[in-house]
Structure 1
Amino acid sequence: MSDLLERLRAGLPPEALITDPDVTASYAHDMASFCEAGTPAVVVLPRTVEQVQHVMRTATALRVPVVPQGARTGLSGAANASDGCIVLSLVKMDRILEISPVDRIAVVEPGVVNAVLSRAVNEHGLYYPPDPSSWETCTIGGNIGTASGGLCCVKYGVTAEYVLGLEVVLADGRLLTTGRRTAKGVAGYDLTRLFVGSEGSLGIVVKAVLALKPQPPQQLVLAAEFPSAAAACDAVCRIMERGHTPSLLELMDRTTVRAVNAMASMGLPETTEALLLCAFDTPDPLADLAAVGALCTAAGATEVVPADNAAESELLLQARRMSLTALETVKPATMIDDVCVPRSQLGAMLAGTAAIAEEYDLTIGVCAHAGDGNTHPVVCFDHHDPDESRRARESFDAIMALGLELGGTITGEHGVGVLKKEWLARELGETGVELQRGIKAAFDPLGLLNPGKLF
């Protein structure tokens, strides 16, 4: 420990090192439940690329594991510390280095908060679409590490589609530049995409070139109430089948609606079994909402209410954004799943989740990026009750198994981390895991970067 600290101090300012055990303990884990976390030896908060390189060279020399972190808003344990590791927190590297309206790119450091970037590019008439529910606090580096999505994915896609290039500090301290600043480019293997979603296991992202879009018109939202989740999912299928491209298409089940009302008195309709939110940011959103409203009515909606203005629309979106937080108030603990299925199987996914909740005698609320088939079943339980905790974990696994049975994936946007290691192996198969481990070994032969995650 003394040798580690001495070497780190040689290339870092004093304020970049945290050794107080009470403080370092607060960096031990992200927001996931049921994920083991170790005790870090030290927390480092670099401000420059050179400082990150110094940390990695020191770690390699002493064979000390390094766990990269952003804002620790993740939900899979991907940012959890391992015993004796260096926690490398990148939140102080928070500069927006460039915004180019001509090239439609932004160049940023990893600690830039998603919402801060979004507002900055808006001032130039531009738009950075990826918007996770935690966008007010999560960082771009964390978004890249977990390949995060958000509410707008149904129209605009996920983080991976906006990362054009990266600067990455490798395990041995070398600096790698990947990708491009140009509108297109196919030189060599696509290493940029390889790092997106790698959860800090291949290198430390220290700079990103991000694609931007022209800022769209203000979106308007429609809320539709349904007597069943099946009817709401039928409406989703009708909307997509008819060729509509909403800017978001979100679903909240009855449990979620009631939790949001209880937490924030939003006045959402508690008699509904499923609430569908659909938005358009097109030149004529009212016409698009009218067409979608008719499809919702045909699918069995009992009430279809378009928002009158942007303020009303934003209120509905706030309700959806606070869904996961609201469900956390239902019981002392939650496990938030992230299963994505083909849109055509969305109804089966929700019906199966309801059956699992009944089988395990648990409250499981579901909110979903319905337009993507990306569901977030939230298992609510009392972690002080051993039997209920056991049932919660078993129900979580049952939900993931259901997703795979329906042709889906165990994670649409939250990542694997510690929480889903076993399930990643099931989804990829033996050959897939072998190849992915080979890639890991090529970039990190000593296994120092975020050990114990993914595999």
Structure 2
Amino acid sequence: MDLNTDLVQELLGALPYEGGVLTDPDLLRSYEHDEADLVPYGTPSVVVRPRTTGQVSAVLRAASRHKIPVIPQGARSGLAGGANAIEGAIVLSLTGMNEIIDIDTANRIAVVQPGVVNAQLRRAVAAEGLYYPPDPGSWEQSTIGGNVSTDAGGMCCVKYGVTSDHVIGLEVVLASGEVLNCGRRTAKGVAGYDLTSLFVGSEGTLGVITEITVKLRPAPEPALTLVAVFDTLAAAGAAVSAVVGSGMQPSMLEVIDRVALTAIEAYRPMDLPTTAAALLIASVDSGGRAPDDLARIAAMCRTAQASDVYVASDEAEADALLAARRLAHPALEHFAAQLFPGGGGIMVDDVAVPRTRLVELIEGIEGISAEHGVVVATVGHAGDGNLHPVIVIDRSDPVNLAQGQKVFDAIMSLGLSLGGTSTGEHGVGLLKRDWLAREIGPTGLKAHRSIKAALDPDNILNPGKVF
């Protein structure tokens, strides 16, 4: 790690407060990577923690002059290595820019800084009778800036869409330090190119997002929830196909397989049916129609050979089911550590296919797991055709590690062959660069690189990520 003292002095001048500029090696190591496993990372030379757009601009101007890479980071809860540092880089941590600037109830919009935590915004607007729908599993930790950078989804996106469906305006600092304002605060607006959409999902490679304008919805009616238990994953997939094919719009439609159920129950006991092949959680928030809608979904599950269907008796029980689904990631990390003491880890995949191909994806994942003798847990947003196969690996065993990588690649290949995409919501980062290249092809890569070169000609913004 080569510490550029001239650069550090410039940064100290731009952020002249305690904790604004970090150079202590022990502190730097805590900013090296996000939660993705088995992808490379380095140690930054310095970490900066700005509080204003002007300070971000000053950092990027200094980085441009010194030709030093800049890695934007939020809460580092990502699962694709998109926030991983590279050796000698500047890490630009945006968690200190955590102000909710405005909640405009009349126009149903909110303006926030990137360090605002998703749950913080959701609760703040709920107090005003409004609703910000995107709810990634890490909603109590992940920031809105990170959600925008990866176009995060969540459990309610089957009805309400992903982050990009709610972002209408951005303030972005370009690599040069110039500040770009794009988008709008109005309900409609089509002036010029849609630069807002360009930056959403760009994973910090085109600019640093410093302010976000999102549209809000009226608070939904209280949801009714059911759980259907299935003896095969394919039957659960058939039930999902029936529900989405019916034209109904559940507010949640999630699947959890036996491996994940077992892991969650071991991690936090809650009497889950661990002998089931799969659990399907469905919710509807359609007001007065909700009881009838839930009854229709229950009937479809029974037709698909559900062994049991339970309707949550109250909101507390429904919240407990939702909490169980959110526990999948930490529970599977714990499961891996128990299965492979000293070397257990997980590779989290993120494949989305057309809803009509979901059963094929589920059956294919089961077959791949059996063929390679590698444990794979499947959870995901079944109503969107977006599954998260979680591959359980032993980092200390090269043979097992190689098999895990083969499983990961086989699942990715299967998803693309079914007309799907390599990532539904986690982003590309470092984990899926090769798979993005296969998905979009040479012409798509050329277009990506041309946009990158136009906005970041010196390639200082999150270099090596996405492509």
Q: What is the CA distance between 1:139 and its match in structure 2? A: 0.1
Q: Deviations over 1:168-201 (max 9, x none)?
A: 0000100000000000100011000000000000
Amino acid of the residue matched to residue 164 of structure 1?
I
**Which residue among 82, 96, 100 is the counterpart of 2:100?**
96
Q: Which residue of 1 aligns with 2:309?
A: 304
Secondary structure at the counterpart of residue 171 of structure 1: coil
Percent identity of equivalent pairs: 53
Q: Which residue of 1 aligns with 2:169?
A: 165
Q: What is the CA distance between 1:348 and its match in structure 2? A: 0.8
**Which residue among 416, 422, 436 is the counterpart of 1:404?**
416
Determine whether 1:391 maps to 2:421. no
Q: Which residue of 1 aligns with 2:440?
A: 428
Amino acid of the residue matched to residue 427 of structure 2?
G
Q: Distance in 2 between matches of 1:175 and 1:38?
A: 29
Q: What is the CA distance between 1:220 and its match in structure 2? A: 1.6
Secondary structure at the counterpart of residue 185 of structure 2: coil
Secondary structure at the counterpart of residue 330 of structure 1: helix
Q: Which residue of 1 aligns with 2:298?
A: 293
Q: Distance in 1 between matches of 2:324 and 2:66?
A: 49
Amino acid of the residue matched to residue 99 of structure 1?
I
Segments of structure 1 that go 5 or more residues without pairing to the other structure are none
Q: Distance in 2 between matches of 1:393 and 1:294?
A: 40
Q: Which residue of 1 aligns with 2:12?
A: 9
Residue correspondence of structure 1 range 264-303 to structure 2 within 5 A: 264-284=268-288, 285-303=290-308
Determine whether 1:77 maps to 2:89. no
Q: Distance in 2 between matches of 1:397 and 1:34?
A: 14
Determine whether 1:50 maps to 2:54. yes
Q: Which residue of 2 aligns with 1:328?
A: 333
Determine whether 1:338 maps to 2:341. no
Determine whether 1:28 maps to 2:40. no
Q: Distance in 1 between matches of 2:360 and 2:13?
A: 58
Amino acid of the residue matched to residue 318 of structure 1?
A
CA contact (8 A) 2:222 2:287 kept: no
Q: Distance in 2 between matches of 1:184 and 1:314?
A: 35
Q: Which residue of 2 aligns with 1:416?
A: 428
Secondary structure at the counterpart of residue 84 of structure 1: coil
CA contact (8 A) 2:67 2:460 kept: yes
Q: What is the CA distance between 1:276 and its match in structure 2? A: 0.4
Q: Distance in 2 between matches of 1:242 and 1:389?
A: 42
Amino acid of the residue matched to residue 314 of structure 2?
N
Q: Deviations over 1:338-384 (max 9, x none)?
A: 00011111111111111111121111000010000000000011111
Select between 286-295 and 72-81 the one with higher mean Cα deviation: 286-295
Determine whether 1:191 maps to 2:195. yes
Q: Matched residue pairs, number?
A: 455
Q: Distance in 1 between matches of 2:59 and 2:36?
A: 27
Q: Distance in 2 between matches of 1:93 and 1:440?
A: 25
Determine whether 1:377 maps to 2:381. no
Secondary structure at the counterpart of residue 446 of structure 1: coil
Q: Deviations over 1:412-440 (max 9, x none)?
A: 00000001011110000000000110001
Q: What is the CA distance between 1:14 and its match in structure 2? A: 3.5
Q: What is the CA distance between 1:394 and its match in structure 2? A: 1.4
Q: Distance in 2 between matches of 1:61 and 1:167?
A: 22
Amino acid of the residue matched to residue 4 of structure 1?
L
Residue correspondence of structure 1 range 121-140 to structure 2 within 5 A: 121-140=125-144
Q: Distance in 2 between matches of 1:336 and 1:266?
A: 24
Q: Deviations over 1:235-289 (max 9, x none)?
A: 1111111111100000001111111111000111112111000001111322211
Amino acid of the residue matched to residue 109 of structure 1?
Q
Q: Distance in 1 between matches of 2:387 and 2:245?
A: 19
**Which residue among 119, 129, 132 is the counterpart of 2:123?**
119
Q: Distance in 1 between matches of 2:269 and 2:16?
A: 47
Q: Deviations over 1:385-408 (max 9, x none)?
A: 111111111111111011001110
Secondary structure at the counterpart of residue 268 of structure 1: coil
Q: Distance in 1 between matches of 2:274 and 2:345?
A: 23
Q: Distance in 1 between matches of 2:71 and 2:443?
A: 27
Q: Which residue of 1 aligns with 2:340?
A: none
Q: Distance in 2 between matches of 1:349 and 1:326?
A: 23
Q: Distance in 1 between matches of 2:363 and 2:328?
A: 20
Secondary structure at the counterpart of residue 244 of structure 1: coil
Q: Distance in 1 between matches of 2:441 and 2:199?
A: 21
Secondary structure at the counterpart of residue 72 of structure 2: strand
Determine whether 1:445 maps to 2:433. no
Q: Which residue of 2 aligns with 1:224?
A: 228
Secondary structure at the counterpart of residue 165 of structure 1: strand
Q: TM-score, normalised by structure 2?
A: 0.97
Give the CA RMSD over aligned residues: 0.7
Residue correspondence of structure 1 range 328-367 to structure 2 within 5 A: 328-331=333-336, 332-367=344-379
